[in-house]
Structure 1
């Protein structure tokens, strides 16, 4: 009897410990999930102010955001060419335009890459400077207000390409231009020193991929079915096209007949 009671108590203790462990693990999982969600929201909120908000501030000769340069990142080792991402900071208090820009800061969260194939750079950017250190020359890529969070460097035998998915307008109408808005794919060629853009009005660039070991791309576009200015991955479709790098033309990959047949099969209307 004593052994049975001991075993029962031992099982009860072990069961209690197991329940406590599961509760602690569940709380930790929920906390981590919330933190990741908040971090994602914070990344999205780093967008630049919408044109409408800017117009309101300019009427009072005020500003709420200032540019902030990040440390140079080596892209072309042989020619000593760097990129300098330009980010922005949202001030705690709105200030007068013309006030000395003493709020600059820089960050070097990511080490430079010496990859000769591809590399990624992440942050909250509103422009990009290409800096030729040998000739001490630099140029900014964008002459308009934009927002992007990733720069991909793709290496070829005859060129280096920079690729960025860029938001240009507050299509979602939430007061900021950020990653919730429609994006275009921008490509900068180091060899030709030309910036190209790929986009379709009313659609969002979701992803892209190089094909045939060349510079041509497949590009997936998110279709805004409910016309709310935002592509929603979980319930809105994508279409795929091919981009010819030299001609700068987008063409269908899937034949329209096959596309129609697939949709009819899905919805049950194909006889």
Structure 2
């Protein structure tokens, strides 16, 4: 009799545990399904437009997406060969297809490091002092009101360069100068004691990267397509250029024909 009661209790416990396990498994399955569904929706939302949508837009001579280039990634260290992935951005508002192409982007991923050492400092800055304790001299870099949050030092065999992404005008018209406003890149050479400014009027310096073991850089400029004085990373594209440190010139990296072909392919005007 006691054995029979024990078996009944054991079966009851096992049954309860089984029910709990099934409930937990069901909840987990539902959660995973919801997450996968949301992920799928996100993938669809950020993908390129369908052929049907493209046809509708072409009837009105409109487009909603523009090409955007990723940061150069080192693929061949010995020969300093880079690849530039191409992505796209979905605009907040449709625009005419004939409008000037200002669309070019960046997401950092792993790549082999070059031989330089670099350091970064984050905060809320409005100037920078270069101090020499040996002779007691100090030098401020800016004679105007500016705002920046990053100070980056890049070490070379013959020099140390200090780089700052600086806002100096209230382009967003919100009453303050901050990182919502357009930024320019400032480069200070400790050896030459020279400060250089790199920028394009009406654009934002969104990101920059040194080419392998060189002082030349690639710079991403954020394009303010809706002309509100602010670059919006998720809806507005970036233009990528090469900056020659020695002559101070900015040049295009992507050939104009390739740029035009990529945009036409994306918007469906190239058959």
Q: If the length of structure 2 is used for normalisation, what is the TM-score?
A: 0.61
Q: By how many angstroms is 1:180 displaced?
A: 1.2
Q: By how many angstroms is 1:20 displaced?
A: 11
Residue 6 of structure 1 pairs with residue 13 of structure 2: yes
Residues of 1 paired with 2:213 and 2:153: CA distance? 15
Matches within 5 A, 1:103-252: 117-252=117-252
Residues of 2 paired with 1:240 and 1:228: CA distance? 21
Residues of 2 paired with 1:139 and 1:116: CA distance? 26
Q: By how many angstroms is 1:18 displaced?
A: 9.1
Residues of 1 paired with 2:120 and 2:249: CA distance? 26
User: Secondary structure of the equivalent of 2:119?
Assistant: strand
183 and 15 in structure 1: CA distance in 2 versus 1, 3 angstrom threshold = farther
Residues of 2 paired with 1:193 and 1:164: CA distance? 15
Give the conservation status (yes or no) of the 8 Å contact 2:116–2:213. no
Residues of 2 paired with 1:174 and 1:269: CA distance? 39
Match of 1:45 in 2: none
- The runs of 5 or more residues in structure 1 that have no matched partner are 22-114
Residues of 1 paired with 2:250 and 2:175: CA distance? 31
Q: By how many angstroms is 1:214 displaced?
A: 1.3
Q: By how many angstroms is 1:217 displaced?
A: 0.6
- The runs of 5 or more residues in structure 2 that have no matched partner are 1-7, 29-114
Aligned residues: 178
Residues of 1 paired with 2:173 and 2:163: CA distance? 26
Rg bigger for which structure? 2
Q: By how many angstroms is 1:177 displaced?
A: 1.2
Residue 257 of structure 1 pairs with residue 257 of structure 2: yes
Q: If the length of structure 1 is used for normalisation, what is the TM-score?
A: 0.61
Q: CA RMSD in A?
A: 2.4
Residues of 1 paired with 2:240 and 2:210: CA distance? 13
